[in-house]
Structure 1
Amino acid sequence: MASKFLTKEKGNAKLHTRKGHDMTWSCDKHGEPITFYCKQHKIPICHKCGTKAHQKPCELDDIEDVIFERRGNLEEKQPLIEETKLLLQKVESKINAVSSSSRKHLQTVNDKLQETFKDKLKDVKEREVNLIRVINEEADEEIRKINEKREKRIKDCNIDIEKEQTTIKERETKLLADTKTISDVVTKKINDLTNKNQHALNIMKNIESTITRINQHDETLVNEAPQVLASIDENLSLNVHQDVSVCLDRVQNKVDKVKFVEGEVGGEYYCRIDWYIGKWELVKSIHIPSFVDKPWVYGLISDDEICVEDGKNDMYITCISTEHTQKVIDGVSNMHFTSCAPIDSNVIVCGKRKWDSKGDRLDGAWTYMDEDITLYDRQWKMIRDISISRNEGGNSVYVDVDRDGMILAAQTYQSSIYVINPDDGKIVNTITMQGKKVLGEVQALSSGDIVVQTGLNKYTVISRSGEEKVVIHCDEWVESKCRVDKLTDTLYITYRVAGKTYAVDQVSRDGIIMARRIVEYVESDRPFCFSPCLVTPSGNLVVCDRRKLLLYKKKFSL
């Protein structure tokens, strides 16, 4: 490899100027001047390199010739370089021109682009504003409607709640008035007993004072002692202390029976003060219009509405509070109702007795038909008919509603009681009595048990499995009808006493007669069979003398 020779100042070998150029050049390896150019290896070398490392096949040229040749080659290129330089300079000018023009044009394009997209962004923004305005307007309208709907619902809710609160407060006020009335009766009785006892005590104190006085003088003692002794015997014979004590026990016993009772009947809540044995007073007489021919009362559909059927099998509803009677169903000649009960505030179930006319039968007998039960809404539009198995001999189907809202249905002269789902009319259970047959109405107790009329004067309480729990019977109930108080499970038995006089007995579900003849009334001369004594959920009794409905209310008495 070639390098520059060392200078004189360094004190080294003397430098030789080469011809053809002004450079001093030496071999890096040997420090000698460059003299050759090896074409094979394409490197400049010194003499020693040429004699030692670059012999054949290497081809060596004199370094001066190589330098001259290459300088000539370079000089030959100079015009081309100059020409190229001129061309490049022109291109540079063009570059600058194109660059300037392009820059200006692109700037124009860019300005146009920015202006266009600025307009588009403005349009989009305006559309956004418009859309948001529309959305807000729609949302505001929806919110207005929602708020309006909410306000209406809140208002309706407030009205409903206020009505409920008013009803609750009215019920509370009434019950508190009832308890106060009872309390006043008890207080008056206790005050009377207290006065009676105090009067007797004062008499005893006066007698003691008299005895003390007459004992002070023998003459007074002899003269007045017989009268004092007679007074003592007279007052002691009255047994005031015993009478007062017995009366207090009776008061305590009657007060202890006072209870607050509550429950649901036909889907409605009822409550009252009851369980005590009181005095039933006639508080209202409701005239039955003359167009209701041969009236027969067979059930309640609410605390205020009584179902009445006439001799033409038309059904009427009499409102206790308004005393208004209105026809709701036109009767047919081959069907009449046997019983009814509310399932809830919207639906009523009715039991029927239906038969076909003598028809083609040669023996002239009646043929009894299906469709024994019908569900009605409160406008007395039929919802559906329900049929149970029609057995030979059965001609009437009686119904009631149990505590779970299920229909209880039974056919006379049969032993089966059907539990029916009112939603679909399907029988969900069949209860079979052992050794007994249905002879009249079936009624549900709040306990889940069922009261079944199994004789003219017999009522059997059975469990849901058909097991007999108690038979309620009285020889005086020769011709009787029974109704159950749904809140207390108390039975009210209506029966003929003598002639046209009827009475009602109060009986517990265990068969204990709690009170005899709590209500007595005389039927009018208007014909038809007698009606049962109905028990309203509020605890009132309603009987029918064939011309009037008589409403009785129980009053606490001692």
Structure 2
Amino acid sequence: MASKFPTKVDKDKLRTRKGHDMTWSCDNLQHGEPITFYCKQHKIPICHKCATKDHRQETCELQDIGDVIIERRGNLEEKRPLIEETKLLLQKVQSKIDAVYSSSSKHLQTVNDKLQETFEDKLKNVKEREVNLIRVINEEADEEIREINEKREKRIKDCNIDIEKEQITIKERETRLLSDTKTISDKVTKKINDLTNKNQHALNTMKNIESTITRINKHDETLVNEAPQVLASIDEYISLNVHQDVSVYLDRIHSEVERVKFVEGEIGGEYYCRIDGYIGKWELVKSIHIPSVVNMPWVRGLISDDEICVEDAKNHDMYVTNINTRRTQKVIDGVGNMDITSCATINRNVIVCGKWIWGCTGDRLDGFISLYDRQWKMIRDISIPRNKGGNRVHVHVDMDGMILAAQFGQSNIYVINPDDDKVVHTVTMQDIVCGEMQALSSGDIVVKKGLNKYTVISRSGEKKAVIHCDEWMKSDCRVDKLTDTIYITYLVAGKTCAVDQASGDGIIQARRIVEYVRSDRSLYFSPCLVTPSGNLVGWDGDKLFLYKKTFIL
């Protein structure tokens, strides 16, 4: 092995040759001789000792190191033109590389610029779209806010109008009631002043008599002459019982004033209040003629403070008369085999009617109870069981908004929830229903038992009171829901309609508080209705009469 390029070695001695380094020695430390040969078999330069010792085999072909150097140098020199040519080619390649690199760089830069420009445009478009979308969103939101603000302002305005109307109504009611109480107070004050004056006059008279007695007692002659006259005047004045009359009148004032009370409550979804409780005097304030288009009028009930339901008994059409406007309007076309027996309001939007239908069979009374809206459009029917009795059903609405329904001639009264038409309770009484029912604020029910008898029962069916009068040969009743006062309308001698006032405990409080002569226009008897505001509406067969109560002493 050699560590340096070998020099040419002669087999006999070392000699310097062109291209041979004499300092090139063998790698074998034991030899330390210059390189002289090259073993082509092992492809290594060797010294003389290596040649004689380690490379003697036939396979080893030794070559003089100098010849090897010259040969290989020559071989290398032969490659120089190829190297130059290759260098030129490589230089051209380098130029091409540089050109391609430059071109590629420029192209890629162009691509990159285009890419950046494109994405800048994209970002710009996205930003512009964002701005446009935000603008649209803001415009839509502004529009929505504007609409919301308009709706809010409208609702606030409507609310203010409604509240203002309600406040005006409340103030008007307060003013009216304060006026009523002032009227009562003025009447009481006037009567008290009259009694005070009367009593003071009596006192003054007694004082004058006392003075006269003192004067005539001073002289016997005067006493003898004037005593009979003075005694006669004393007896005469004492017989007037002024003190007793005043005392009785004071008791009456106290009793009547103690009856006065403020009553309030909700009827048919509306709030009502008034000064009531006293007996008073009923005065006719208005009469309303029913137009001739209603052939045979028959009052069936009221659905508000001023709306009276009137049926034409001839063709069964239903009309509503407004006692304020005096206008009568048809609301339901009649059906040949059906009459409406009664009607009442459940709330501001719903009216319930009971019906009388001929030819009904089966175990259910279908279509005998109907709900209508305020435009008298049918909402739905409510069905109840059919028992032995007449084919007519009467309805009423209690203070809780529950429907009371009963079939004529049987003993069950059904309490129906109008929200789901379910019977929530059945009141079973000992007697049978012979007409309409009226609910008291306590929950008790006034039921017509016969021509001249009414029974007050509890919701359990217990009889609590009987209201009866022999004079009521043909009668009907209505209840004031705010005071529980019962008004019984009846015929006197078949021609005059009269109204008596009774309480829920069966006591008749006043007789014939209202009277009117019956007309020949209608054959049907109708009750005197009680409006929620406490007025009475009588019916003579031709006209409606509106009565208002005044306080009297």
The TM tier, using the shorter chain, reads 0.7 to 0.9
Q: Match for 2:151: what amino acid? A: K
Contact (CA 8 Å) 1:356, 1:367: kept in 2 or not? no
Q: Offset of 1:332 from its aligned partner?
A: 1.6
Encode CA deviations 1:434-458: one digit per residue, 9 max, x unaligned: 2x11111112111111111111111
Q: Offset of 1:115 from its aligned partner?
A: 9.2
Measure the CA separation in 2 of the matches of 1:137 and 1:389.
62
Task: Tell me what 1:512 maps to.
Answer: 507
Encode CA deviations 1:337-382: one digit per residue, 9 max, x unaligned: 111101111111110110139xxxxxxx999974211111111111
Out of 503, 512, 525, the position equivalent to 1:530 is: 525
Aligned residue runs from structure 1 range 148-187, under 5 A: 148-187=150-189
Out of 321, 333, 336, the position equivalent to 1:333 is: 336
Task: Tell me what 1:379 maps to.
Answer: 375
Measure the CA separation in 2 of the matches of 1:345 and 1:397.
23
Encode CA deviations 1:166-192: one digit per residue, 9 max, x unaligned: 111111111111111111111111111
Aligned residue runs from structure 1 range 105-504, under 5 A: 128-312=130-314, 313-356=316-359, 370-434=366-430, 436-504=431-499
Q: Offset of 1:259 from its aligned partner?
A: 0.6
Q: Which consecutive unaligned segments of at least 5 residues does structure 1 have?
A: 1-100, 358-364
Measure the CA separation in 2 of the matches of 1:227 and 1:119.
133
Measure the CA separation in 2 of the matches of 1:410 and 1:536.
23
Contact (CA 8 Å) 2:518, 2:540: kept in 1 or not? yes
Measure the CA separation in 2 of the matches of 1:157 and 1:188.
45
Q: Offset of 1:489 from its aligned partner?
A: 1.1
Q: Offset of 1:499 from its aligned partner?
A: 3.3
Q: Match for 1:472: what amino acid? A: I
Q: Which moved more, 1:104-113 or 1:534-543?
A: 104-113
Measure the CA separation in 1 of the matches of 2:362 and 2:266.
40
Measure the CA separation in 2 of the matches of 1:131 and 1:245.
92
Measure the CA separation in 1 of the matches of 2:492 and 2:114.
115
Q: Offset of 1:108 from its aligned partner?
A: 12
Q: Find the residue that maps to 1:356 and give its secondary structure.
A: coil
Seen in structure 2, the aligned counterparts of structure 1 residues 368 and 480 have a Cα distance that, compared at 3 Å, is farther
Contact (CA 8 Å) 1:485, 1:536: kept in 2 or not? yes
Task: Tell me what 1:544 maps to.
Answer: 539
Task: Tell me what 1:66 maps to.
Answer: none
Q: Offset of 1:283 from its aligned partner?
A: 0.8
Q: Match for 1:466: what amino acid? A: G
Measure the CA separation in 2 of the matches of 1:354 and 1:324.
29
Contact (CA 8 Å) 2:365, 2:385: kept in 1 or not? no
Q: Find the residue that maps to 1:176 and give its secondary structure.
A: helix
Q: Find the residue that maps to 2:385 and give its secondary structure.
A: coil
Measure the CA separation in 1 of the matches of 2:337 and 2:122.
86
Q: Offset of 1:391 from its aligned partner?
A: 2.2
Seen in structure 2, the aligned counterparts of structure 1 residues 141 and 369 have a Cα distance that, compared at 3 Å, is closer
Q: Match for 1:419: what amino acid? A: V
Q: Offset of 1:307 from its aligned partner?
A: 0.6
Q: Give percent identity, aligned residues only.
A: 79
Measure the CA separation in 1 of the matches of 2:212 and 2:116.
132
Contact (CA 8 Å) 1:356, 1:366: kept in 2 or not? no
Contact (CA 8 Å) 2:478, 2:528: kept in 1 or not? yes
Q: Offset of 1:150 from its aligned partner?
A: 0.5
Contact (CA 8 Å) 1:353, 1:396: kept in 2 or not? yes
Q: Find the residue that maps to 1:388 and give its secondary structure.
A: strand
Measure the CA separation in 2 of the matches of 1:311 and 1:466.
34
Q: Offset of 1:144 from its aligned partner?
A: 1.1
Encode CA deviations 1:40-85: one digit per residue, 9 max, x unaligned: xxxxxxxxxxxxxxxxxxxxxxxxxxxxxxxxxxxxxxxxxxxxxx
Seen in structure 2, the aligned counterparts of structure 1 residues 228 and 530 have a Cα distance that, compared at 3 Å, is same
Q: Find the residue that maps to 2:367 and give its secondary structure.
A: coil
Seen in structure 2, the aligned counterparts of structure 1 residues 190 and 238 have a Cα distance that, compared at 3 Å, is same
Encode CA deviations 1:4-34: one digit per residue, 9 max, x unaligned: xxxxxxxxxxxxxxxxxxxxxxxxxxxxxxx
Task: Tell me what 2:38 maps to.
Answer: none
Q: Find the residue that maps to 1:455 and give its secondary structure.
A: coil
Seen in structure 2, the aligned counterparts of structure 1 residues 127 and 293 have a Cα distance that, compared at 3 Å, is closer
Contact (CA 8 Å) 1:355, 1:366: kept in 2 or not? no
Seen in structure 2, the aligned counterparts of structure 1 residues 134 and 369 have a Cα distance that, compared at 3 Å, is closer
Q: Match for 1:327: what amino acid? A: K
Measure the CA separation in 1 of the matches of 2:362 and 2:384.
19
Measure the CA separation in 2 of the matches of 1:395 and 1:376.
21
Q: Which moved more, 1:333-342 or 1:384-393?
A: 384-393
Seen in structure 2, the aligned counterparts of structure 1 residues 125 and 255 have a Cα distance that, compared at 3 Å, is same
Measure the CA separation in 1 of the matches of 2:147 and 2:409.
62
Measure the CA separation in 2 of the matches of 1:499 and 1:170.
42
Task: Tell me what 2:27 maps to.
Answer: none
Q: Which consecutive unaligned segments of at least 5 residues does structure 2 have?
A: 1-101
Task: Tell me what 2:47 maps to.
Answer: none
Task: Tell me what 1:361 maps to.
Answer: none
Seen in structure 2, the aligned counterparts of structure 1 residues 556 and 472 have a Cα distance that, compared at 3 Å, is same
Aligned length: 448
Q: Find the residue that maps to 2:329 and give its secondary structure.
A: strand
Q: Offset of 1:214 from its aligned partner?
A: 2.5
TM-score, reference length from structure 2: 0.76
Measure the CA separation in 2 of the matches of 1:474 and 1:457.
6
Encode CA deviations 1:190-209: one digit per residue, 9 max, x unaligned: 11111111111111122222
Q: Offset of 1:222 from its aligned partner?
A: 2.7
Q: Match for 1:387: what amino acid? A: S
Contact (CA 8 Å) 2:389, 2:407: kept in 1 or not? no
